[in-house]
C-alpha cells in the first residue's frame, strides 16, 4: 500500500466545477463539527470522503450532497486539522500529523 500526500488538484477538484455554489453553509459547519468530534475521539481514524459523508456525520433527511463534506474537509485542512493522503488509488482524510 502506497501512502503519499494527495495532490492539491484532488483536494480542490470540486471547486473547479462550480458545485460549491449550491452548498448550504449551515450544512458545512454541521459536517465540520461532526468530523472534529470524530477525530478528537479517535485520532488515528481515517476514511474517504464517501465514508465520512455516509458514516461519520449524522445527517437528517434530506441528506445534503457529498460536496458539503468535501468542502468541510477542505476547510478543516486549511485550519491544519486534517489532511488528504493518497493510498493506492484512493484519497483518505486523516488528522494532520507532523511532517
What's the pLDDT tens digit per position in 54-99? 999 999 999 999 999 999 999 999 999 999 999 999 999 999 987 6
98 is written with which cell numbers?
507532523
Quote the pLDDT of residue 79. 96
In the chain, the domains with their CATH numbers are: 3-95 (1.10.10.10)
Beta bridge partners of 4: 86
Handedness of CA 12, 18, 21, 22 (dihedral sign): negative
Quote the pLDDT of residue 21. 53
Quote the pLDDT of residue 47. 96
Stated pTM of the model:
0.78
Q: What is the pLDDT of residues 39-53, one digit of tens each?
A: 999 989 999 999 999
Amino acid at each position: 500500500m502506497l501512502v503519499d500526500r494527495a495532490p492539491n488538484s484532488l483536494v480542490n477538484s470540486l471547486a473547479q466545477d462550480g458545485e460549491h455554489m449550491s452548498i448550504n453553509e449551515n450544512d458545512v459547519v454541521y459536517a465540520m463539527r461532526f468530523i472534529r468530534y470524530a477525530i478528537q475521539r479517535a485520532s488515528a481514524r481515517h476514511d474517504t470522503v464517501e465514508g465520512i459523508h455516509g458514516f461519520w456525520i449524522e445527517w437528517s433527511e434530506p441528506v445534503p450532497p457529498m460536496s458539503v463534506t468535501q468542502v468541510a474537509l477542505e476547510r478543516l485542512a486549511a485550519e491544519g486539522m486534517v489532511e488528504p493522503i493518497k493510498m493506492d488509488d484512493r484519497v483518505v482524510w486523516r488528522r494532520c500529523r507532523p511532517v
